[in-house]
């Protein structure tokens, strides 16, 4: 088990009523968490061991946290339970305090236990609820937009990532409500919002004399369908030979604002050097045709689990193609 000490130690102390802090991994394979006691939210890069911590005047007791989007569209959504706010943090315009922290690695002996399952038939209760719509205006929208919740509701606690365009959902523990929050401040796209496909093959230089070669085909054929594909990667400097055959995510975005998707991120599992299980995150950019013509296409691979050494660069040969929906 790998452990990091959070700078300042702002996690909520244990209380008998519960309300633990929340944690969520984003599409860039970094980890968001809430620091309730210090009125901050944090982000950990488990590869570089660097913490980013965000706050602003007025933030009060962040609880649940979720994330959507990548690059300039990366956002975190969190509830402020005692502060009675729903907040939207846009990473590209928010200013963090950055702290490197060396991790501690410990060996843990697992304990195995057995449970006897109990089967039962629940009684379904159907209730019709008439929603109440309220307009809320963000206060001080500078990196973190904070939206007061409606009168008569309190203690927002749960939070989802983007489910529909400009829309997240959550819960209010203090008043037994669930809510749908829709705002133009939410720019991150829904995950799996549409069919997507990206293909590529080529090589980039790892050293002046050694290259890494790759080829892949990753797609989601329907908006709610699974991600399928294959990836083969061979780094002639490190000797890594990686084959990915099962994929858990695929997100393609327009980072230039011109309506054309130019970046895709996907995560897959497979093997390294034919024996070791790995999970790798891949980031590709489709910048030009062909891919080695400036501004060049680029390929980057990094580790989520196992031996998948970070590597990447601009293409010296080949091409990456995002097939526009």
Q: pLDDT for 82-101, tens place per residue? A: 999 999 999 999 999 999 99
Residue 20 pLDDT exceeds 50: no
Instruction: State what percent of residues in the chain have pLDDT above 70.
Output: 93
The DSSP output letter for 164 is: B
The terminus-to-terminus CA distance of the chain in angstroms comes to 41
Residue 24 pLDDT exceeds 70: yes
pTM for this entry: 0.65
Q: What is the DSSP string of 255-267?
A: SSSSSS--EEEEE
Question: Do you find a cis peptide bond into 290, omega within 30 degrees of 0?
Answer: yes
186-238 pLDDT tens trace? 988 776 556 689 999 999 999 999 999 999 999 988 766 788 999 999 999 99
Read off the pLDDT of each residue in 243-269 and give the average, rounded to a whole number.
88
231-254 pLDDT tens trace? 999 999 999 999 999 998 888 888
How far apart, in whole angstroms, are the C-alpha atoms of residue 258 and residue 279? 32
How far apart, in whole angstroms, are the C-alpha atoms of residue 58 and residue 139? 10
How far apart, in whole angstroms, are the C-alpha atoms of residue 167 and residue 181? 6
Residues 6+ apart with CB under 8 A from 209: none
Q: pLDDT at position 283, please?
A: 94
Q: Where are the domains of the chain?
A: 2-108+120-182, 196-323
């Amino acid at each position: 088990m790998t452990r990091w000490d959070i700078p300042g130690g702002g996690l909520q102390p244990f209380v008998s009523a519960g309300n633990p802090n929340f944690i969520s991994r984003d599409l860039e394979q970094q980890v968001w968490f809430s620091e309730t006691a210090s009125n901050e939210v944090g982000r950990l890069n488990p590869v570089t061991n660097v913490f980013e911590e965000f706050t602003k005047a007025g933030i009060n007791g962040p609880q649940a946290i979720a994330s959507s989007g990548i690059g300039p569209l990366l956002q975190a959504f969190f509830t402020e339970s005692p502060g009675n706010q729903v907040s939207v943090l846009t990473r590209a315009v928010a200013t963090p305090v950055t702290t490197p922290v060396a991790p501690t690695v410990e060996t843990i002996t697992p304990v195995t236990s057995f449970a006897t399952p109990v089967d039962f038939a629940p009684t379904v209760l159907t209730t019709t609820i008439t929603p109440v719509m309220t307009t809320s205006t963000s206060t001080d929208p500078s990196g973190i937009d904070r939206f007061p919740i409606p009168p008569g509701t309190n203690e927002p606690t749960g939070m989802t990532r983007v489910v529909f365009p400009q829309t997240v959902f959550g819960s209010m523990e203090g008043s037994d409500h669930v809510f749908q929050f829709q705002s133009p401040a939410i720019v991150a796209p829904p995950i799996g919002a549409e069919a997507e496909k990206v293909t590529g093959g080529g090589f980039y230089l790892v050293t002046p004399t050694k290259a890494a070669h790759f080829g892949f085909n990753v797609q989601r054929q329907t908006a709610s369908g699974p991600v399928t594909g294959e990836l083969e990667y061979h780094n002639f400097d490190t000797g890594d030979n990686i084959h990915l055959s099962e994929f858990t995510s695929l997100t393609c975005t327009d980072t230039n604002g011109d309506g054309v998707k130019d970046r895709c991120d996907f995560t897959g599992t497979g093997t390294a050097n034919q024996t070791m299980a790995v999970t790798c995150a891949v980031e590709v950019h489709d910048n030009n045709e062909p891919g080695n013509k400036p501004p060049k296409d680029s390929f980057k691979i990094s580790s989520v689990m196992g031996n998948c050494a970070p590597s990447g660069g601009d293409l010296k040969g080949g091409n990456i193609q995002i097939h526009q929906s």
